[in-house]
Structure 1
Amino acid sequence: MEADDSRVIPINIEEEMKSSYIDYSMSVIVSRALPDVRDGLKPVHRRVLYGMHELGLTQGANYKKSARIVGEVLGKYHPHGDSSVYDTLVRMAQEFSMRYPLADGQGNFGSIDGDSAAAMRYTEARMTRIAEQMLHDIGKETVDTQENFDGTMEEPVVLPAAFPNMLVNGADGIAVGMATKIPPHNLGETIDATVAYIDDPEIEIDDLMEHLPAPDFPTGGIIYGYQGVYNAYHSGRGRVVMRAKMHEEEVRSGRRALVVTEMPYQVNKSREVERIADRVRADRIEGIADLRDESDRDGLRIVIELKRDANAEIVKNQVYKHSRLQDTFGVNMVALVNGRPKVVDLKDAIRHYVDHRHEIVVRRTEYDLKQAQDRAHILEGLTLALDHLDAVIAIIRHSPDTDAARQNLRRGRYPETLSKPDLRELNVPLEPPVEADRTQDTVQKLLGDEYEKLVQQPEEGHWLTEDQANAILRLRLSRLTGMEREKIIGEYEDIIDKIKELQHLLDSKERRMELIKEELLKVKERFDDERRTEIDYTGGDDIIIEDLIEREHVVVTITHQGLTKRTPIDTYRTQGRGGVGMRGTGKREDDFIEHLYVCHSHDVLLLFTDKGQCFWLRPFEIPEGSRTAKGRSIRQLIDIDADDRVRTVISVSKDDFEDEDFLNSHYVLAATRQGMVKKTALEAYSRPRSNGIIGIKIDEGDELIEASLTGGDHTVVVASSGGRAVHFDENDARPMGRNTRGVRGMKLPGDQEMVGMISVPPDASEEMDVLAVAENGYGKRTSLSEYRVQGRGGKGLITLNRTERTGNLVAIKGVYGSEDLMIITVNGIMIRTRVEEISTMGRNTQGVRVINLKDGDRIADVTRVRDTEEAENTEEAASEDDASAQNGEMDEDAASDAVDEVE
């Protein structure tokens, strides 16, 4: 049998795919995933509420099985699966999911730990009181309706929503090609902002934010930083950072703990407890001794017990950094506006809601007016009937049937079977009621000039309308008494007053807006509660890495092959002069320590290389290592050339580095091995790049040996390996740009080089000594006063009597006698000794032995430890901590005192 080609319709598959996918996308966007800007509900939420309304499940009713509610919604309105309906009902009943739950659940509806709700056959639900406000006046034709999925009944397109639910309860949904995520807010604050908009439709968003400052999450917590909220309200998109609420308390004798009492919104509590435990085991979070969840029916409580020596603030910041106890709510306020998805800002959201409520009020007023007019119309007929009671009774009594009686009453005619003599016997007026003077009727007197406008009139030639005639026919005999007549008249007068009021409401937009305000404020008075989420306006959007690092003095070392590490300063014990020292670092073959710097962990380090490049680094960014650890390559931290290496470091406090006045009044004074010096304003080094900047222009064959921070009024001492030094005024070297080579600092014989530079503050020249150290372990102190100020560029004065025993001069330092001296050898041996134990001698002397060197070893570098007393306090505090820990006596106060003494 041949195929019938006439029944085959060729279709371009590409066009069909486009068409079908667009239809699917719009269906998801409009009918499933996005809320309506007017009531803040997706279709499934709206259908669940309407279904409960139709079942009469108000707060005054008994609970009904959730399965019964789901069946109602599925059978009548929702064309999708039962799980989507029940999941919606569950979420609407969860206090930790919705700021103001719309369903009142009875049974297991899940928990903040992620436990799922019980099956729908085990749970029961009804509407909450505030949910009833969402459907208030829905029976007054206030909203449009549409056919349900099978066209057998009607469902509302939107709910009246007596409060701005989209902002109050938020929304969350993923559509096709777009998504929405609207945070919940406090009801009272939202209504205050809405009222402010009604009072001034031109109000700015910043002014609205005075009433509605930030989201208010059902689980409380803290909003950390305000920029994300500001962006979200102004543009509809922003990142709101949420933090768990955490405080410190003593959980048992000598044990402190961080206690979490509120979680960020939509964060699973039990999962985060497990995550923190995993991070502790992986050593990503330090200082935690125990972790337990003590939550019960009275509230949430996670206890993070601290180790005895732990810093609570640092542990707290580590927990925030490595868990979802700090989380981000990505605000994306997308809603359906006139059936189309649109990003709305705060003012847009409020404006669309107010427009919706205005339409609700207009339609409700029109409905009430029509009902009042209809009732007035009936009461008018009853009043006329009572005024002509005998005639009405006669007409009804002598009419053959109900239809005839209705028509006779409408026309005001007697039945043809009734003659006038009979009327006289019945004491009925001789003329039919239609001939009565209507201007004298009670109705006309009550309404006055508005009669024709407000009350329906009968057809021409008729006395009553059909509705009035029917009402008279249904009138009970008991209503014919004098008292009942007065009630009818009284009701009629009241209904006329109501008609006038409703008509005035329709004629005045100002009165309608005032009514919207009054109704909103009534909702606020009834349902408002306290804000749950705190706002930390000072917080940043992200965890600052500095907050995770202990504030302490550290030793930063850099080896010849570029390995670096930081070590707490209390790692090194003080030794007497002439000791053999202790190993300060692990050493690779052919490697040795070239640089050692004592600084604060949060300082700014300016790293200058041999080639004159400058890099920016923070000490806490350098990995911490033990005293014998080898460290990490500096090339992993800064983008240094393969044939370059770090020569010197300048440490500047963070506050000073951000002070413009400080930057412009201080200078970097640099010296090169070939005797050049250069002065450049510190401000020129305040904007480094990841690949470094030019610190000083270096000639071929030359290299940087020292860089120092000056105040612009210092003097400078430079020295050569031959043991000579030049002392000159800093102003002899004028300020230059970064990309310059500088000026000559001192003249050098062909076999010598410059080995060091000292920057001398003006108030220190009388007290400072020049410390000179030779490569074979000899050193001495000489008063700076013995070095007269000369012009720069000369050969200089003798500063150390160089001999075969002393070897070449390797370093000069400016000291005061109270410092500790750190000396490092090429074999990695380091000794810490007090400068005051080194003898003071004249310039032209060899000095004394400051360190015993093993055969083949020699001094590589020398640096100072200025804070001797502070370092000793650190060591003492650490020793007391260790002793108390062994005896089990270390308590929170003792640990705090030790830390305070150090800081």
Structure 2
Amino acid sequence: MGKSLLPPGDGGDHIEPVDLKQALEERYLAYALSTIMHRALPDVRDGLKPVHRRIMHAMRLLRLNPDQGFAKCARIVGEVMGKFHPHGDQSIYDALVRLAQGFSMRYPLVDGQGNFGNIDGDNAAAMRYTEARMTDVATELLAGITEDAVDYRPTYNEEDEEPVVLPGAFPNLLANGSSGIAVGMATSIPPHNAAELCDAALCLIDGIKSRQDVSDDRLMDFVQGPDFPTGGIVIDSRASIAEAYRTGRGSFRVRSRWHQEDQGRGTWVIAVTEIPYGVQKSRLIEKIAELLIARKLPLLEDIRDESAEDIRVVLVPKSRSVDPGILMESLFKLTELESRFSLNMNVLSRGKVPNVLSLKSVLREWLDHRREVLLRRSRHRLAEIERRLEILAGYLIAYLNIDEVIRIIREEDEPKPVMMGRWDLTDTQAEAILNMRLRSLRKLEEFEIRKEFDALTEEKRQIEALLGDEQKQWNTIAWEIQTIRRDFGPEENKELGPRRTAFAEAPEHDLTDIAQAMIEKEPVTVVVSEKGWLRAMKGHLGDYTQLSFKEGDSLKLAFHAQTTDKILIFTTGGKFYTIGADRLPGGRGHGEPIRIMVDMETDQDIVTAFVHEPKRRLLLASHQGNGFLVSEDEAAANTRKGRQVMNVKTPDEARFCIPAAGDHVAIVGENRKMLVFALSEIPEMTRGKGVRLQKYKSGGVLDLKTFAMDAGLTWQDSADRTFTRTQAELAEWIGARASAGRMVPKGFPRTGKFG
């Protein structure tokens, strides 16, 4: 009979009920904590996440120092994955590759040999082809790790040990930056200039030593702002940068660096030589090319990538008359030639607590860590010295009694306890004498032993003095930081030292110029129907009779415009709406109702529409004869809601909106009475009901017109004949504003309109 597959015991199913809510909370919290602590957030002390720290540690164990040979990346990844980091090999290799990329890291920690990817976003070669070793920056991060500088913890399988944090002699967190997304929190820190960080840290040490508080603004004298490996120009104000560093949250606007190159005979191109950090060059050029094809960049003719080792993207303008500043502003607005890098200094404070820290707090925690490392290394060295001094004291006794020592070793069965009893030696001293090689006897001179003994005694005295004096500790840390500043500062290190990112105020350009620069300039004919349907036909049409409309609808007005123009629409409710001519529906079909484009009340109709001309004045009038002048700039509105300019109450409504030209106004009422008065009698307002233009017993305005008195008042009759009345002939109609006027002159059209 085969083995039973039934569970042993009573045959019960042993199901345990679990509260789902509680189980989810516990397990999700465990996952969240693991992500925050062991994956996504860097430690404030060494600026590394666990995967980077493990790569550094493994490379040290493989002895991949800057002065040694390279090793295959596959070997490094295998070491990291097998011993320390039980995750996918690709994720470890990706982290390793990034540490070697000069365009990703301001101060690379890995010196790579082979294809490690490029700024176009191409991937690195496979790990079996590439090789790596540590850089000088990495050795600074590891300096003193063998001297009990940091704590160790068991690895994931408890077969080995790994450092909890690196000694971190280099201000890595801020110098190289970091970014990561955990659960419910993220971090984003831009790279900075190491020399500036060292200067700020030294200033902080001076404050600690003199027990004076160093302000955040004082540190800003040293740390100007981010220093991206890809350069670029930060265009934020000093105040906003200072505020970001004070709170640990903010953002930086980074622009590409560009210059104009003369091509002879008045032509020119723009060469972009630096692009914002984190932007892939090939993707950027693709995006600009897409916008060119979509005709969103009318000032740009062509884009070429002439990059080799360095970046060089050439932009060709449409014509030599294009303003290069406006062209670049339109590109900055639409493409990643300008990008925003956020600052969120969310780090593991003291390696344990996720916290958003200010620039000052980050530097202070790094300095506190450096002091802790200094004290631990000093105590470790002190213990080493004491062990050596003990052994040297034993050697000295052995040297003075060398013949007796040799006799005891030769004759005694157990020489160690005999020697310990004879000269009062410790176990360590006796062991050291017994382990001595015979050839050492020749060298074992009293002078040499005493010299080493004295030197170590002096070093011991200095270390004990250091451990007992906080001022001396800070002086030592300051000296270490000065060494880092010298090695990685612009004076000694010409490649990594100098600042790459510059600062500038964004040039002031008229926003309307920039907006127009993004629209292809083409002639259109704007058509408005009686029922309020709008469209823009291509070209300037001469004959409007061919236009088709929906059944029951007809032409209200049509006029010529350019796609770069703004169209102003005035309604019976006294509101102005502004629509860009480029945003009007095309000529196919009947267009769209205005109510889809703007928030216009259903009981209102369009009075008129026209091309916006800045600085022009308009004369508005209501049916009941109230009116005023308004500047066209005041009437333009950028929102869908429009701008209320003329206040009218039902049954009154806005009826007229005409350009105010000339110096006089002629107004005709429905009672066929005409009045002429000076335009200067009408006030200019930004909003209101206006003043009475003409007095009526009943009815309202039929038509009004502005004109220059020198040229006379003209009108057209139904047969298209033009009549003109001079000042003398108009004498009896000229009066004061708000008069009733007199019956229209002979020959005035029956319609009561000026034609």
Which range, TM-score by smaller chain? Answer: 0.7 to 0.9
**What amino acid is the match of 1:55?**
L
Q: Which amino acid aligns with 2:111?
A: D
Residue aligned with 1:217, SS: coil
Q: 1:411, CA displacement in angstroms? A: 4.6
CA RMSD, aligned part only? 4.6
Partner of 1:530: 498
Q: In the TM superposition, what are the counterparts of 1:293-442 in structure 2 within 5 Å?
A: 293-297=305-309, 299-308=310-319, 311=322, 312-337=324-349, 338-383=351-396, 389=400, 391=401, 393-394=403-404, 397-398=407-408, 405-413=415-423
| AA aligned opposite 1:343 | V
Q: Deviations over 1:79-114 (max 9, x none)?
A: 112212211111111112211111111111112222
Residue in 2 that maps onto 1:642: 602
Query: What amino acid maps onto 2:600 in structure 1?
Result: I
Structure 2: unaligned runs, 5 residues or longer: 1-5, 490-496
SS state at 2:221 partner:
helix
Q: Residue 652 of structure 2 aligns with which residue? A: 702
User: Secondary structure of the equivalent of 1:397?
Assistant: helix
Offset at residue 137 of structure 1 (A): 0.8
Q: Is the 8 A contact 1:336 1:342 kept in 2?
A: yes
Q: CA deviation at 1:401?
A: 6.1
- Aligned partner of 2:3 in structure 1 is none
| 1:32 correspondence with 2:42 | no
- The amino acid across from 1:332 in the alignment is N
Distance 1:346 1:597 in 2: 58
- Provide the secondary structure at the position in 1 that maps to 2:112: strand
What is the match of residue 131 of structure 2? 124
Q: Residue by residue, what CA displacement relative to the aligned partner does 1:105-153 show, whole Å, maximum 9, x if unpaired?
A: 1111112222221121111110011111110111110110011122122
Question: 1:544 Cα deviation (Å)?
Answer: 6.0
Pick the aligned partner of 1:795 from 730, 740, 749. 740
Q: Aligned partner of 2:318: which letter?
A: K
Residue 25 of structure 1, CA deviation: 2.7
Q: Which of 118, 136, 154 lines up with 1:111 in the alignment? A: 118
Contact 1:673/1:705, CA 8 A, preserved across alignment: yes
Alignment partners' CA distance in 1, 2:729 and 2:240: 60
Distance 1:3 1:626, change over 3 A: closer
Give the AA of the match of 1:351: R
Match in the other structure for 1:671: 621
Counterpart among 154, 159, 164 of residue 166 in structure 2: 159
Match of 1:443 in 2: none
**Cα distance, 1:694–1:197 mapped onto 2, change above 3 Å:** same
Aligned twin of 2:492: none
SS in 2 for 1:260: strand
3-state DSSP class of the match of 2:355? strand
The structure with more radius of gyration:
1
CA contact (8 A) 1:228 1:241 kept: no
> Which region of structure 1 is more displaced relative to structure 2, 72-81 or 273-282?
273-282
Q: 1:22 and 2:32 equivalent?
A: no
Q: 1:557 to 1:119 in 2, by over 3 A?
A: closer
User: What do residues 671-720 of structure 1 show as CA deviations (whole Å, max 9, x unaligned)?
Assistant: 3232223589999989997534543332434332456999xxx9974522
Counterpart residue identity of residue 506, structure 2: T
Question: Do residues 547 (structure 1) and 492 (structure 2) align?
Answer: no
How far apart, in 2, do the equivalents of 1:149 and 1:9 lie?
30
Alignment-derived partner of residue 571 in structure 2: 609
Question: 1:36-70 CA distances to partner (integer Å, 9 max, x unpaired)?
Answer: 12111111111111111111111110111111111
CA change 1:585–1:176 in 2 (3 A) is farther
Which deviations, in whole Å up to 9, do the C-alpha atoms of 1:711-748 show, x marking residues without a partner?
Answer: xxx99745225573343686787x9995x644422224
Closer/same/farther in 2, CA of residues 85 and 545 from structure 1, 3 Å limit: farther
1:187-586 matched pairs, under 5 angstroms: 187-200=194-207, 202-226=213-237, 229=241, 232-250=244-262, 256-297=268-309, 299-308=310-319, 311=322, 312-337=324-349, 338-383=351-396, 389=400, 391=401, 393-394=403-404, 397-398=407-408, 405-413=415-423, 462=424, 464-472=425-433, 484-528=445-489, 529-538=497-506, 547-550=514-517, 559=528, 561=530, 562=532, 582=542
Cα separation, partners in 2 of 1:314 and 1:771, compared to 1, 3 Å: farther
Contact 1:235 1:345 in 2 (8 A): yes
In structure 2, the CA distance between the partners of 1:748 and 1:512, relative to structure 1 (3 Å rule), is same
Counterpart of 1:696, as a letter, is M
Letter in 2 for 1:222: I
Judging changes above 3 Å, is the alpha-carbon distance between structure 1 residues 402 and 496 closer, same or farther for their aligned structure 2 residues?
farther
1:896 is matched with none
* Structure 1 unaligned blocks of 5 or more: 414-461, 573-580, 657-665, 811-858, 860-903
Query: Does residue 101 of the first structure (1) align with residue 94 of the second (2)?
Result: no
**In the alignment, residue 639 of structure 1 is paired with which amino acid?**
D
Which 10-residue stretch deviates more, 12-21 or 48-57? 12-21
1:170 to 177, 184, 190: 177
Preserved CA contact (<8 Å) 2:576 2:637: no
| Closer, same or farther: CA 382–293 of 1 in aligned 2, 3 Å | same
Whole-Å separation in 2 of the counterparts to 1:238 and 1:63:
40
Q: Cα distance, 1:648 vs. partner?
A: 6.8
Which piece of structure 1 moves more, 52-61 or 167-176? 167-176
Distance 1:20 1:403, change over 3 A: farther
Alignment of 1:819-858 (within 5 A): none
Contact 1:669 1:679 in 2 (8 A): yes
Q: Is the 8 A contact 2:137 2:170 kept in 1?
A: no
Q: Return the alpha-carbon distance in structure 1 between the equivalents of residues 109 and 200 of structure 2.
A: 22
Q: Is the 8 A contact 2:117 2:123 kept in 1?
A: yes
Inter-partner Cα distance in structure 2 for 1:99 and 1:751: 79
Cα contact 2:572–2:654 (8 A) shared by 1: yes
**Shift of the alpha carbon at 1:367?**
1.6
Letter in 2 for 1:365: S
Instruction: State the partner residue of 1:885.
Output: none
Separation in structure 1 between the aligned mates of residue 207 and residue 710 of structure 2, nearest angstrom: 71
**Per-residue CA shift, 1:562-583, capped at 9, x if unaligned?**
5668999xx98xxxxxxxx945
Q: TM-score, normalised by structure 1?
A: 0.69
Cα distance in 1, alignment partners of residues 528 and 655 from structure 2: 15
CA distance in 1, matches of 2:141, 2:715: 85
Once the two structures are TM-superposed, the CA of residue 175 in structure 1 deviates from its matched residue by 2.5
Partner of 2:752 in structure 1?
A: 808
* One-letter code aligned to 1:536: A
Shift, 1:535, TM fit: 2.8
SS in 2 for 1:211: coil
> Which letter does structure 2 place at the counterpart of 1:340?
V
The answer for the alignment partner of 1:826 in structure 2 is: none
In structure 2, the CA distance between the partners of 1:709 and 1:196, relative to structure 1 (3 Å rule), is farther
